[in-house]
């Protein structure tokens, strides 16, 4: 059993969360007595247009353990978490959402599990409080992802809510990758990992900040940066289609030479207009689909090659410029 960690950083990405923040402050204050004395809460403002930054500044004024990173615009949740990881200095680092869907009360249990010798303790969603369509989509995505990645034990139904050891944080921060899918990178990084089940509550207030577009981007980042299967799929489908068209051609040749048995089955030779159209459209569709797949990878290669930073920091409150 390890000793209790000397210090803890809690990262909270915030995008237009003015409605949830007061409750977050209150909840964290209540549970923080179970945390290491030396703790910090790093809120990352991801380009909010509401009172989020002001509220966070006030909170820093009340308690300097609350620190703030302001990004120059909305870079997305994954980038905001990366900014937090970069700023965090704790021996262990927890990541939670601002909307209280990840109960801060669980952090002490995550720490207890870390003490048993794990470097990554991720929270697994036992129950979701989202609508049936979203729930089904999440369910399918995680299973598809698991079946397609090369990561052996990709944890199902676990988001970014987790506790990471300093070693893991340092490796994640050092990754040069830009299209980040943190829960994938976390699983990929190895070390000793384990999950802890919890019930995911409903969002405390406000609308979800993950729009459908942002969710789709997250899902495609996950799939395309952790799997080459979609590329390989093109060859498989190509092979299959060629095989069946070969078979079809053979049947037509046989029909031409021995039309009688076909006639007996009620299959006279008809100039196959419909068949031609269907075949052409089908092949056209398959080609476009796989051009799209290639485009997905190409786009990612392009982004990585440009090597633009994943986020830009406009201001830091209570944090040194660089660690």
Nearer to Mg ion, 77 or 186 (CB): 77
Query: 71 - beta bridge partners?
Result: 313
Binds ligand UDP by CB under 6 A, chosen from 41, 53, 66, 77: 77
Token duo for residue 177: 């990758």
Looking at the DSSP bridge assignments, the partners of residue 121 are 163, 194
**Nearest distance, CB of residue 49 and ligand UDP, angstroms:** 12
Strand partners, 69: 44, 316
d(CA 232, CA 211): 30
Judged by CB under 5 A, the stretch of 108-116, 178-186, 196-204, 229-237 that binds Mg ion is 196-204
Q: Contacts with ligand UDP in 13-42 (CB under 6 A)?
A: 13-15, 17
| Interface of this chain with Mg ion, residues 210 to 229, rule: CB under 5 A | none
- Identify residues 93-112 at the interface with ligand UDP (CB under 6 A): 97-99, 101
For Mg ion, the closer of residues 210 and 262 by Cβ is: 210
The 175-214 site mask, x for binding ligand UDP (CB under 6 A), equals ----------------------------x----xxx---x
166's tokens:
């300093």
84 binds, among Mg ion, ligand UDP, none (CB under 5 to 8 A by kind): none
- Closest approach, Cβ 206 to ligand UDP, in A, equals 8
- Return the residue of 18, 46, 86, 99 that touches Mg ion, per CB under 5 A: 99
Percent of residues in the chain assigned helix, strand, coil, to nearest 5 = 50, 15, 30
Calpha distance 126→108 (Å, rounded): 18
The binding site for Mg ion (CB under 5 A) comprises 97, 99, 101, 203
């Amino acid at each position: 059993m390890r000793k209790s960690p000397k210090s803890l950083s809690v990262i909270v990405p915030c995008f237009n969360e003015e409605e949830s923040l007061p409750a977050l402050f209150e909840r964290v204050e209540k549970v923080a007595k179970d945390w290491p004395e030396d703790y910090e809460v790093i809120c990352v403002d991801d380009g909010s247009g509401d009172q989020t930054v002001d509220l966070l500044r006030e909170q820093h004024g009340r308690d300097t353990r609350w620190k703030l990173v302001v990004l120059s615009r909305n870079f997305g949740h994954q980038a905001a978490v990366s900014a937090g990881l970069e700023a965090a200095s704790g021996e262990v680092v927890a990541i939670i959402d601002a909307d209280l869907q990840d109960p801060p009360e669980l952090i002490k249990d995550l720490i207890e599990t870390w003490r048993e010798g794990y470097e990554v303790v991720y929270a697994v969603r036992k129950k979701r409080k989202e609508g049936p369509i979203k729930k089904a989509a999440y369910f399918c995505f995680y299973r598809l992802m698991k079946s397609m990645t090369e990561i052996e034990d990709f944890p199902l139904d676990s988001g970014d809510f987790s506790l990471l050891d300093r070693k893991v944080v340092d490796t994640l921060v050092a990754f040069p990758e830009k299209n980040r899918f943190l829960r994938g990178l976390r699983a990929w990084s190895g070390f000793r990992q384990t999950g802890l089940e919890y019930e995911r509550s409903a969002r405390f207030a406000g609308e979800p900040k993950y729009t459908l577009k942002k969710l789709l981007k997250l899902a495609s980042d996950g799939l395309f940066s952790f799997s080459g299967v979609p590329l390989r799929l093109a060859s498989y489908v190509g092979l299959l289609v060629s095989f069946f068209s070969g078979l079809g051609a053979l049947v037509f040749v046989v029909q031409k030479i021995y039309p009688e048995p076909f006639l007996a089955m009620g299959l006279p030779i008809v100039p196959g207009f419909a068949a031609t159209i269907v075949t052409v459209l089908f092949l056209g569709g398959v080609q476009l689909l796989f051009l799209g797949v290639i485009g997905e990878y190409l786009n990612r290669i392009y982004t990585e090659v440009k090597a633009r930073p994943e986020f830009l920091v406009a201001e830091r409150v209570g944090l040194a410029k660089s660690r």
